[in-house]
Every structure is written in structure tokens, then in C-alpha cells.
Structure 1
Amino acid sequence: MIPLSRLAGAIAAASFAVTAVTAFAAETRPYDAQSFAAAQAAGSPIVVEISAPWCPTCKAQKPIIENLAKSDAYKDLVIFEVDFDSQKDAVRSLDARMQSTLIAFDGDKETARSVGDTKPDSIAALFQSAIAQ
């Protein structure tokens, strides 16, 4: 049986390790208009990912986005996820026409937009545009 103090130490170490691994990751969160407006007002670098669970292109984009989000270069980036099917108001307000749309912002300034792109290099360039200024 493991003494309680050793178990608590192990849990604390594991918690720190998880925090250390994710400390440099971009923040991904569901889109809501207030949080998006607050991030823009704060001048945050932002990527909006408009996707649908049934979309094969969106599924191809997802691991590319997740991989980029882990990079230290994008640690200050906020990624907002918009569901194409259930968040029609957000889709319209972002002037998106279809799922698999990615939009980059530097604060309130749109810096890049793509639709249907599944190339890691060009998605990375879109991410970069949000932090380049």
C-alpha cells in the first residue's frame, strides 16, 4: 500500500507535468459572441474554425489545427470553434458560406481566410498571419 503522502506527491507531480505540457498550447474554446468580442478587444491573435461533424474536409483539418495549436509559437493564440450546423448566427456574422472555413484575426483585423484547405503549410501560414503583426 502506498502511503498517503507519497500518493499526494505523485498526484501533484503528475498534475504539474500535465500543466507543463499544455502551458504553451493555444487556447481552444467554443465560440460565443461575447468571448470572441473580448478577445478581439484585447488584441489577441485569433483563429476561428468553422466546422461540421459530418464534413470530411473538416476532419482532415482537425489534426493539422491540433498539431499547430501545440506549438510554442502559437501559445497566445485563441482558437474559437464554430459548429456550422448549430451556430448559424455566428456563421453569418463571420460572413462564412460553408464549413471547413478558417479565419485568422489579429485583434479585430482579419488577416487571412481559407475554405476547404487541408495543406499543413498553408494552414500554418494562416495561423502565422494572426501573430505576425
Structure 2
Amino acid sequence: MKTSLLTAALISTVITLTFAQLPAAYAGTLSLPAYSADSFQLAEAKGSFVLVATKPGCPVCSKQIPVIESTLQLPEFANLTVLQYNQVTEKALNKRFGVTGQSTIIVYRDGVEVSRTRGLTEADAIKTELMKAL
């Protein structure tokens, strides 16, 4: 009985410490250019761009964003505008763009939405999505 209580207490402590540190661990990985009304207006004027909806602490987002950043280093994406917004603080954008979950990638080409995906983390799949804007 003593052992099982001690084990339960240890597990509870580990879980609490792990989840308490998740937002800080993921905060630094979400570093695409942030959405703003001005940046979105410029992107719309260009016609082709990508909007990425993320959430701090999202494990999929923490994998997805570095892959997007890496993909954007390829020459074919040199002129592609990618904007990221935080779903927690920008709830009006969720409604405006019809986003219902984090790690959503919305691709616009010539001013029209051509693709919407959620949960992509594989480099080839993300590259395929970004190519749709070109």
C-alpha cells in the first residue's frame, strides 16, 4: 500500500512538472512571421500566401513550424509569404478563416483558398502544400 501511494505521488509530480513546462518548451519554436492586419493586407495584395494557425503548447505545431521554416529556405519559396497566428489570443481569426483546430495550414493562390490541412509534420507533405501557393 505504501509503495503504490508513493508511486502514485511520484507519477503525479512528474506529470505536473512536465505539463507545467510544455508551453515554455514550445514557445521558442513558433517563429514564423506573425499575422497582423497590415501583413495580411500585403499578402492578399500579392495574391498567393499561406496562413498557419498554431497554439502554444501544441506538440504537432512544435514539429510543424520548424519543417515549414526549413522548407521556406528552398529557393522556390523565396518569395512566398507565410503568416502564423496564435489561435488562443486571436479567436476572431479562427472565426474569420473558419479554423477549428491548431496546426492548420491554409494555402491561397491568386487570392483564392486552394487548400486546407491539419496536422501535417512530414517535410514532403508540407512542401507539397506550400507548392500549391506558387
TM-score of the aligned structures, taking structure 2 as reference length:
0.71
Partners in 2 of 1:113 and 1:123 — Cα distance?
11
Cα deviations by residue, 1:14-67 (Å, 9 ceiling, x for unpaired): xxxxxxxxxxxxxx5211233213321232x21111111210000110111011
Q: Determine if the alignment matches structure 1 residue 39 to structure 2 residue 43.
A: yes
Give the counterpart letter for 1:37 in structure 2. Q
- 2:81 and 2:92 map into 1 onto residues whose CA distance is 20
RMSD (Å), alpha carbons: 1.3
Q: CA deviation at 1:78?
A: 0.6
Alignment of 1:1-133 (within 5 A): 28-43=32-47, 45-131=48-134
Q: Secondary structure at the match of 1:85?
A: coil
Distance in structure 1 (CA, Å) of the matches to 2:40 and 2:100: 19
Amino acid at match of 2:94: V
Percent of paired sites with the same residue: 28
Q: Answer whether contact 1:51 1:84 (CA < 8 A) is retained.
A: yes
Q: Give the count of matched residue pairs.
A: 103
Runs of 5+ consecutive residues of structure 2 not aligned to the other structure: 1-31
Structure 1 segments unaligned to the other structure (5+ residues) = 1-27
Displaced runs of 4+ in structure 1, greater than 4 A?
none
